[in-house]
Amino acid sequence: MAKPHEKYIDQLNALNELITADFDFYRELNSQIDRRLNELGKRGDIEATADEMRQLLADRARIKDTALKLLPLRDFFRNHYGEVGERLARLAAYDRDKGAV
C-alpha cells in the first residue's frame, strides 16, 4: 500500500509527463510551421502563397501562446524537480515508518 506522500509523488510525476508531452507537441508544431514558412518564402511568389502564409502565421501565434503558457510549468519540473528526487531518495533511505506497526 502506497504511503500518502507517495500518492502525491505519483500525481506529480504524471503531471510532469503530461506537461512535457504537451510542450513538446506544441514545439514540434511550431517547428513544422516554421519549416513550411521557409519553404514558401524560398518560392519567391508571395502572391501565390500569401493566404497560406497568413494562415500559418496566425496558427504559429496561437501555438506559441500555448507553448509560452506551458513553459513555466515545464521549467518548474525541469529545473527544480531533480532536487525533489534527491530528497525523496534520502527520505526513502531514512524512512521512519519502516519499523512501524
Write out pLDDT tens, residues 38-80. 999 998 888 899 999 999 999 999 999 999 999 988 988 887 7
Task: Specify if 58 maps to a domain.
Answer: yes
Task: Specify if 53 maps to a domain.
Answer: yes
pLDDT the model gives residue 1: 74
Task: Specify if 101 maps to a domain.
Answer: no
Predicted TM-score (pTM) of the model is 0.75
Measured between alpha carbons, how far is 8 from 4 in angstroms, rounded to an integer? 7
For residue 33, CA distances in Å to 1, 9, 26, 40, 83 come to: 47, 36, 11, 10, 36
- Total residue length of the chain: 101
Domain count of the fold of the chain: 1
Task: Specify if 80 maps to a domain.
Answer: yes
